[in-house]
Amino acid sequence: MRNYIKADEWNIIEEGFDPHLNKISESIFSLGNGRMGQRANFEETYTGETLPGNYVAGVYYPDKTRVGWWKNGYPEYFAKVLNAANWIGIEVKLDDEILDLATAEVSDFKRVLNMHGGYLERTFTAKLKRGKTLKVKSTRFCSIADDEVGAIRYSITPLNFDGKLTLMTFIDGDVKNQDSNYDEKFWYMVADEISGAGAEAYIKLRTKKTEFEVCTGSNIELYKNAEKLNLNPEAVRKEKFVGQTFSLDIKANEEITLIKIAANLSSENYPKESLLKETKSVIAKASAKGFDTLLKEQAEAWAIKWEESDIIIEGDVSAQQAIRFNIFQLFQTYTGKDDRLNIGPKGFTGEKYGGSTYWDTEAYCVPFYLATARQEVSKNLLVYRHKQLGKAIENAAKLGFKDGAALYPMVTMNGEECHNEWEITFEEIHRNGAIAFAIFNYIRYTGDESYLSDFGLEVLIGIARFWKQRVNWSNDKQQYVMLGVTGPNEYENNVNNNWYTNILATWCMKYATEAAEIVKAQQPEKYNTLLKALSFNQKEFADWADIIEKMYYPQDEKLGIFLQQDGYLDKEQTLVKDLPASERPINQKWSWDRILRSCFIKQADVLQGLYFFEEDYDLDTLKRNFDFYEPRTVHESSLSPCVHSILAAKLNDEARAYEFYLRTARLDLDDYNNDTEDGLHITSMAGTWMSVVEGFAGMRVRDGKLQFNPFLPGKWKSFSFTIGFRGATLKINITESGINIKNNAAVDLEIGIRNQFYKLTGNTEIEVNNTALV
Ligand code: BGC
């Protein structure tokens, strides 16, 4: 836990340079635009501790699994979005001394991530070994308006000397993943080029095995104060490296500014043979606009995003900063323009989790994008899985399932399973249910039932077929059971009858049946064609119904709780509060065997089910389960506290709802788990948003209507948030005295506030004060 980020409503600020914090800051100050992203590495040379990171969405490498006990069904590889060419490089040399903050004396260091404008700014003064002192200011962004473009403005002012300044700007493709199973480099060189009178540099690289090609280019301009200088650069070519170097005589207090406009284009979007040409054209267009215009476009694009998604918290600057940081990072990671892309748990901010897709997307991120972005954005997340249905059927077939049963992977890049922690995640088949639940959630929120006939039903049938084959009839119990699974609580492996998985499985079969009825009624022809294409036998509905009716769900009558799995109560029942602090986190302090035998729970499991299917359970049931499971939960996944926060809010336990919210809201800003240097917890950031909107504001969609059940956290004066809902843009403001909802579009709605319904016609507002709410 640290506390070095200065509180500010719109900016993330670091003052003073502490090399020990550098890798943490590189994560926190990361930039991205959904298509590419990078850690906040320095432009100039840095020989201190750093984790270089530049990523291009969708460009990955299948790194061969390293395991001595490979068994049938295990993945052959672990996919990773590759560390790609570093385009920010600018080497700065004063006479013959290189500027390097690891060896210079650094003062006035300040890093600011401006979330309103979408850019990173860094200023510092550095005194080199021989006493030369210079001031530097750099401004950098990945354009969200044109997501193939990035830009840097790098200004140097010598403070106490006249002399020779030599700059080398470069693109370095000779990069390595820190995470590489066989310590190999993943890129081949294809071509490079220096053109445009030496101002433009291009490098085209190809990934091994997957053969993606990425062309990275840059164009530079140089200014002395406001005067543009002629460049006469010399080309520098090394292994997978292309650069330009030039020298000039400078005098104290003159400002030299290098503008570097860069582009990254990949063969995912262009034919390989025209990549270089297309990159040149993107560079030419962006350079013609110039840095200032690009920065202005960036601010305009971010202004639109903020208008649609901002959360304003009054009375708590640190909470305000945190929620904006979470929203900002989510939009830097995923913009929903491309249905082949998804959301890695660390986004573009580190290598952990390989940039692959997890159930996090459906369970945590979909609700955020549903409410804060155009409908197409969350739809594309769903379509991504539809596109991978064939692979999910293949995955299931590899494990012995048949007849169109689909098992989506726990970790994937292209639809194939590629997790590398098979002993934990292999049996986490619950992800299949989260994918079905996201379809339900999308339709519940948008009302877009056409999604079912276009894409959804096919996926739901594949998933339901899987569950049907995955359960078995227990003669002993005279019920269906599900053996050998891992629930969301990864601190249990290979358990029988995980309540959450069992309930999810039957829910999927119910929902697939309902979805089929909807499609049949609305699009009979499409229905018949689809079912024929899937070789669907009407008897399958009856098989599902039989399982739905006769499924076994473990529970304990005495305690009145659902059992996480068979035998859970045989475990020694100790509580987290009795665990010595020195033994936590248990995933670092205990042996795996001890963790598995203990009753401690990594993250919401039974409670995840009560969150998804809350309509089916009364508050007493929720309370009994919450009171039993939470004290046994160590919350060692960042996905855990948000679900607990929402449930605590539902139980009217406002203090605990707020306490759980705090655990994730500033998770990365305060390096709460000592792991921010690996990258940010992007998917749990969506959970933080959920804690505010579904927790504190109690927002739900029931029967096509929005409902709120709000409370105001004690520390806050008010909070408000903007959401889109079925064509309307709503601004919801919650204060001590009540709730105000402004409908900023010409769409009439009916809104529930604590179970009372109000008409909210287009472009009007309603205000309900707390006295009316009792
Ligand atoms: C969690 C999983 C999650 C994964 C990626 C793990 O620690 O237990 O539920 O999918 O991280 O975020």
Structure tokens at 736: 């001590």
Which residue, by CA, sits nearest to atom 8 of ligand 1?
A: 637
d(Cα 410, Cα 390) in Å, to the nearest integer? Answer: 16
Judged by DSSP in three states, 146 sits in coil
Which ligand 1 atom minimizes the distance to the CA of 684? Answer: 12
Q: Specify the DSSP element, H or E, that contains 28.
A: helix 22-28
Query: What's the gap in Å between 565 CA and the centre of ligand 1?
Result: 19
- Residue 66: the pLDDT is 81
Token pair 């659902």 in the structure block, residue: 562
| Per-residue pLDDT, 68 | 72
Which residue has the CA at smallest separation from atom 5 of ligand 1? 345
Evaluate: CB of 172 within 6 angstroms of ligand 1. Answer: no
pLDDT, residue 89, reads: 98
Q: How far is it, in rounded angstroms, from Cα 709 to Cα 699?
A: 7
Pairing of strands 718-725, 561-562: unpaired
Pocket of ligand 1 contains residue 61 by CB under 6 Å: no
pLDDT of residue 645: 98
The pLDDT tens digits of the residues spanning 225-279 come to: 999 999 889 999 999 999 999 999 999 999 999 999 999 999 999 999 999 999 9
Q: How far is CA 705 from CA 13, 254, 273, 532, 753, in A?
A: 40, 62, 51, 35, 11
Dump pLDDT digits (tens) for 473-502.
999 999 999 999 999 999 999 999 999 999
pLDDT confidence of residue 774: 43
Number of helices (H), then strands (E), in the chain: 23, 33
Instruction: Give just the sign of the alpha carbon dihedral 282, 283, 284, 286.
Output: positive
How far apart CA 132 and CA 312 sit, in angstroms, is 45
Q: Which residues of the chain have pLDDT under 50?
A: 773-774
The pLDDT tens digits for 404-462 are 999 999 999 999 999 877 667 889 999 999 999 999 999 999 999 999 999 999 999 99
Distance of CA 570 to the CA centre of its chain: 37
Number of C-beta neighbours around residue 422 at 10 A: 19
Closest residue to atom 12 of ligand 1, CA basis: 345
Confirm or reject: Cβ of 361 under 6 Å from ligand 1: no
Q: What is the pTM for the complete model shown?
A: 0.97
Ligand 1 touching residue 357 (CB < 6 A): no
pLDDT of residue 445: 98
Q: H helices within 400-498, ranges in order?
A: 422-425, 431-446, 450-451, 457-470
| 625 C-beta closer than 6 A to ligand 1 | no
Pocket test for ligand 1, best of 490, 588, 681 (most atoms within 8 A of CB): 490
Output the pLDDT for position 772: 59
